[in-house]
Amino acid sequence: MSNEGLRNHLSAELSGVQALIVLLTQEQDALIKRQFDAVQKIIEDKNRALQALELASKARAQYCSQAQLQTIDQIEVALGEQIQVWQDLRQSAKLAEMMNRTNGQLIETHEEANRFIMSNLAAQRNPDVGYSADGRLSQLSAISRPFDRA
C-alpha cells in the first residue's frame, strides 16, 4: 500500500478536525456573548461534524491496520517526507480538545451563575409576608392575614 493512500486518509481526517475547530470557535464566541439561542444550532452542527470525523478516523484506522501500521513511528516512516499532514492532524486535534474543554468550562460557569441567581431569587421570596388590617405589608407572625386572604 502506498503512502499516498495513508496521506489521503489523514487529509480527510484533518479536514474533519479543522471543520470541528471552526464550530468550536463559533460555539465559544456564542457562549462568551451569551447568545444561547445560537448555541443549540452550533451543537447540532458540531454533532454532525463529530460523526463525520469518527467515520474518517475509522477509515484511517482500518487502512493502517491493513497496511500493518500499528505505531506512530510506523505511520511517520510510511509518510516519509509527507509527514506534515500527520503533524498538522495531531496539532489540530490537540487544539480541538483544548477548545472543547474551554467551552465546557464556559458552559459550567454559566450554569453556576444561573444557579446562584436562582438561589438568590428563591431566598428573596418570603412566605411569611402578608397584609395587615390597615393594608400594609407585614410579617405573618405579627398578623393573621396572608397575601391570599384580604
pLDDT digit string, tens, across residues 23-70: 999 999 999 999 989 999 999 999 999 999 999 999 999 999 999 999
Residues 65-113 have pLDDT tens digits of 999 999 999 999 999 999 999 999 999 999 999 999 999 999 999 899 8
Helix and strand numbers, DSSP H then E, in the chain: 4, 2
C-alpha cell at 36: 444561547
Beta-sheet strands, E only, within the chain: 129-131, 137-139
Domain 3-108: which CATH class? mainly alpha
**pTM (2 decimals)?**
0.76
How many Å apart are CA 16 and CA 48, to the nearest integer? 10
In sequence order, the β-bridge partners of residue 146 are 130
Q: Where are the domains of the chain?
A: 3-108
